[in-house]
Amino acid sequence: MTSRLADAGATVSEQVPLSTLTTLRLGGPARILAECATTDVLVDVVRLLDTENVPTLIVAGGSNLVVGDAGFDGVVVKVTTTAVELGTDRVRAEAGAVWDDVVEKTVAAGFGGLEALSGIPGSAGATPVQNVGAYGVEVGSVLRRVRLLDRRTGDVRWVGPEDLGLGYRTSVLKHSDAALVVDIELEVRPDGSSAPLGYRELATALGAGEGERRPAAEVREQVLTLRRGKGMVLDAADHDTWSAGSFFTNPVVPDDALPAVLAAVAARVGTEVRVPRFPADGGTKLSAGWLIERAGFGKGFPSEDAPARLSTKHTLALTNRGHASTADLVALARQVRDGVQEAFGVRLEPEPVPVGCRI
């Protein structure tokens, strides 16, 4: 298989630590790593592996993976395609392009619309899979179309966002190997103005009202400042950024369950405390970070010398302090999840995808 992958155009190596390919810097070895620098090579390599029924893991930015300590006993396909093409009101990016590079290029070229998504780690191809969002903007709101490799038929075709089942941090592509994103195309604003400011923290930092627009470059700068303050911009020297970003999604509590949850919160923290909550499809969205902290898991939990800790800047991020194992991180995730459920009756769901481990 190694020689056949090389014949297909991949750069092939063996026993590569997956800790070098993930933002958590965790994970055991990949038996075989096949790096694909063009879309044609990527499609040919994945078709070959699927035809031969070879266990395959696709990795690009590695920002949303929790890989087990035993690694992956198959072929890891590393997507290293990088092309970004700007049009009059759109941007097209290959799946392996660094997401923040895509945002930066649009802003530098005088376009607006993506600036609120600045600083998010990972690849362009992962953004519709997760329906990535921040500061009031989701990829689904600016997505024009996605080019997919159908791994059942081998066909490659463009599909619209209506075919992706986009929801809060999810899509039909998540937790499924049926299709692989190879390109995305997004709408941008030619006048250089931002998306309407729909997130209070960002609007306040800019001295603007909610719903206002500002120059995209100004908004991008402020978003990066806010994210750095929470350890959410990658920095090799800062262990608070050795993470998968927000580890748990904000829970949506059904209407019939909300009174019991609010009663549990009041019993723990008092009736005078305001509970952050927002309307959502299917119920009311609560803040996972707020629940984690009020359940007794503060910044830096459990201790300064723990190998895996909550970020010292942001309770929603689980971090590797430089010598953690995946088992350490998973144990912390379970402790936090179970503690929140015991305190408030709310079960938090992990956002990253586990590979070779169970959260």
Q: Is 169 a catalytic residue?
A: yes
Angle at 17 between CA 14 and CA 18, to 5 degrees: 110
Half-sphere exposure of 70 (CA within 13 A, CB side): 8
Bond preceding residue 17 cis, omega within 30 of 0: no
Instruction: Work out the widest C-alpha separation in the chain, in whole angstroms.
Output: 67
Q: Which candidate in 169, 214, 220, 294 is catalytic?
A: 169
Q: Are 297 and 336 in contact (CB under 8 A)?
A: yes
Q: Is 85 a catalytic residue?
A: no
Angle at 337 between CA 240 and CA 172, to 5 degrees: 85
Q: Are 224 and 217 in contact (CB under 8 A)?
A: no
Amino acid at 317: A
| Spatial CA neighbour of 128 closest among 182, 177, 166 | 166
Q: Which candidate in 171, 243, 246, 311 is catalytic?
A: 246
Other CB atoms within 10 Å distance of the CB of residue 105: 17
Q: 17: which 2 tokens? A: 């630590």
Half-sphere exposure of 263 (CA within 13 A, CB side): 5
Q: Is 227 a catalytic residue?
A: no
3-state secondary structure of 74: strand
- The catalytic site residues sit at 169, 246, 351
